[in-house]
Amino acid sequence: MTIKELQNSATRRTFLKHTALGAIAAPAVIRSGGALAATKNVVKIGFVNPMTGPLAGFGEANDYVLSGIRKVFAGGVKNNGKDVKVEIILKDSQSNPNRAAEVAAELILKDEVDIICASAAPDTVNPVADQAEVNGTPCITTNCPWQPYFFGRNGDPAKGFQSTYHFFWGLEDVIGSFLALWDQPGIGKSVGGLFPNDADGNAWGDKERGFPKPLAAAGYKLTDPGRYQLMSDDFSAQINAFKKEGVDIVTGNMIPPDFATFWAQAGQQGFRPKIVTIGKALLFPSVIQSLGERGIGLSSEIWWSPNHPFSSSLTGETSKALADGYTAATKRPWTQPIGFNHALFEVIADVIKRTADLSDPKSIIDATRKTSLKTIVGPVDWSKGPVKNVTKTPLVAGQWQKRGGNVELVITANKTAPEIPLGGNLILL
């Protein structure tokens, strides 16, 4: 099913039958009245993120990020000349769209949050945003390409949404970054695509808005064996198709367990591509570590890194300082969601400061729409588009390389965002 067909679906329920886990979002119940907490000088923030399940890598830094944010918020946030207390309530989506919708409804209807936010792929972001939209709750989301967020929710570019706002890059950016990464001497233009039957996979593989058209325009031949089911235990059909077509480059968007299965079977079956660039699965150091030596040389998009030339509007920390602080506190390597989850609360703090009446959801939504803020992941400005309720952040690409005994994610292609410096050159597998 193409994204265009998804747009024409009668209901969100129809679309969700085609998502990663075949889940159907919990029915929303419209909340009566506005947010009450702000009238008591308290603003409640609900945050939904996967901390368990196959997308848990997106939430592994939550304790560190929220600890820092809560310290900043400890003295309150200024609004109309007075300090407003900010309370953050974290909920685990369990990497399940059904659960994401359920906890979002709890936050809105039971906890009566004033603003809800979410990050980590359409499986979390879309159900949360849908609950917020139907209840008129201000909502800010990230960590999901904008097309599966917007069109996956049946968004109309002419109308947009009422209460839900999103910042991240788009498929056009990841495609441009990957093409820049693959522009290497001695590399053929035969690409194998691995796209699951979920919101991300259907978007990345979509014939109109996904990879096929721009790859063809750039002279690449894409072999797409079709959508596979999540948590598949056999990728033989895909591997055989890639071998038959002489594929040099493998790309796609996968959850970590699926990529681990594919990559192990590729080795067993003698399939040796020269470049493997996979979205989502290869973002996290923990995944690369689990792959051992076969993780070295794999490549992915890079949304945020210690080398990004941006600073926090809340703390003044540079990207490097935030990443180094995480490593020093946890003894673990930095991970990309740190920057974007921090930036969520930069935007929320800015919205709180500028809202005329925190007891009125419409006033909070109006302040959100007018956001123009420099954050640790780059500018967030919803007047820029590309469609209503969406603004984009910069994207580059890179490779996991061994340096000084450690495996690091090195920026090796920055054509789409030259303000972000290169860290090295791509090394073929």
Q: Please check whether residues 253 and 207 belong to one and the same domain.
A: yes
- In angstroms, the CA 120 to CA 107 distance is 18
C-beta of residue 362 within 8 angstroms of C-beta of residue 356: no
DSSP string of 354-372, one letter each residue: H-S-TT-HHHHHHHHHT-E
Domain span at 189: 172-302+396-413
In-domain check, residue 259: yes
- In angstroms, the CA 24 to CA 358 distance is 32
Q: Please check whether residues 14 and 122 belong to one and the same domain.
A: yes
pLDDT value at 29 more than 70: no
Which of 31-35, 173-177, 395-399 comes out lowest in average pLDDT?
Answer: 31-35
pLDDT, tens only, 388-410: 999 999 999 999 999 988 899 99
CA atoms within 13 A on the CB side of 64: 21
- In angstroms, the CA 47 to CA 174 distance is 26
Helix/strand/coil (H/E/C) assignment for every residue in 220-256? CEEECCCCECCCCCCCHHHHHHHHHCCCCEEEEEECH
Q: What is the model's pLDDT at position 405?
A: 83
Token pair of 320 as six digits: 């490097």
In-domain check, residue 420: no
- In angstroms, the CA 425 to CA 45 distance is 42
- In angstroms, the CA 85 to CA 32 distance is 24
425 Cα distance to chain centroid: 25
Phi/psi of residue 193, nearest 5 degrees: -105, 135
- In angstroms, the CA 124 to CA 53 distance is 12
Q: Please check whether residues 287 and 320 belong to one and the same domain.
A: no
Q: At what angle do helices 337-354 and 62-73 cross, to 10 degrees?
A: 20
Q: Please check whether residues 251 and 268 belong to one and the same domain.
A: yes
Q: Please check whether residues 162 and 187 belong to one and the same domain.
A: no
In-domain check, residue 427: no
pLDDT, tens only, 292-301: 999 999 999 9
In-domain check, residue 101: yes
Q: Please check whether residues 258 and 351 belong to one and the same domain.
A: no
pLDDT, tens only, 148-165: 999 999 999 999 999 999
Closest to 263 measured CA to CA, from 221, 237, 235: 235
pLDDT value at 123 more than 60: yes
Q: Please check whether residues 368 and 245 belong to one and the same domain.
A: no
In-domain check, residue 126: yes
Q: What is the model's pLDDT at position 80?
A: 86
Encode 121-132: b = buried (16+ Cβ within 10 Å), e = exposed: bbbbbbbbbbbb
Q: Please check whether residues 126 and 138 belong to one and the same domain.
A: yes
In-domain check, residue 373: yes
Overall domain count for the chain = 2
164's enclosing H/E stretch is strand 164-167
In-domain check, residue 429: no
- Domain of 313, CATH number, reads 3.40.50.2300
Q: What is the model's pLDDT at position 331?
A: 96
Q: What is the model's pLDDT at position 420?
A: 98
105's enclosing H/E stretch is helix 97-105
Closest to 108 measured CA to CA, from 30, 41, 25: 30
Q: Please check whether residues 212 and 156 belong to one and the same domain.
A: no
- In angstroms, the CA 217 to CA 321 distance is 40
92's enclosing H/E stretch is strand 82-92
- Name every residue whose Cβ is closer than 8 Å to that of residue 76 and which is 6 or more positions away in sequence: 83, 84, 85, 86
Q: Please check whether residues 218 and 334 belong to one and the same domain.
A: no
- In angstroms, the CA 394 to CA 302 distance is 9
Closest to 364 measured CA to CA, from 9, 88, 37, 20: 37
Token pair of 109 as six digits: 């209807």
List for the chain the helix, strand, coil content (%; round to 5).
Answer: 40, 20, 40
Q: Please check whether residues 265 and 401 belong to one and the same domain.
A: yes
Q: Please check whether residues 234 and 318 belong to one and the same domain.
A: no
Please tell me the pTM assigned to this model.
Answer: 0.89
- In angstroms, the CA 427 to CA 407 distance is 14
pLDDT, tens only, 10-25: 333 333 333 333 333 3
- In angstroms, the CA 408 to CA 333 distance is 9
In-domain check, residue 426: no
- In angstroms, the CA 364 to CA 411 distance is 37
Q: Where are the alpha helices (DSSP H) in 280-359?
A: 285-291, 319-330, 337-354
Closest to 335 measured CA to CA, from 140, 61, 127: 61
pLDDT, tens only, 240-295: 999 999 999 999 999 999 999 999 999 999 999 999 999 999 999 999 999 999 99
Percent of the chain with pLDDT over 90: 89
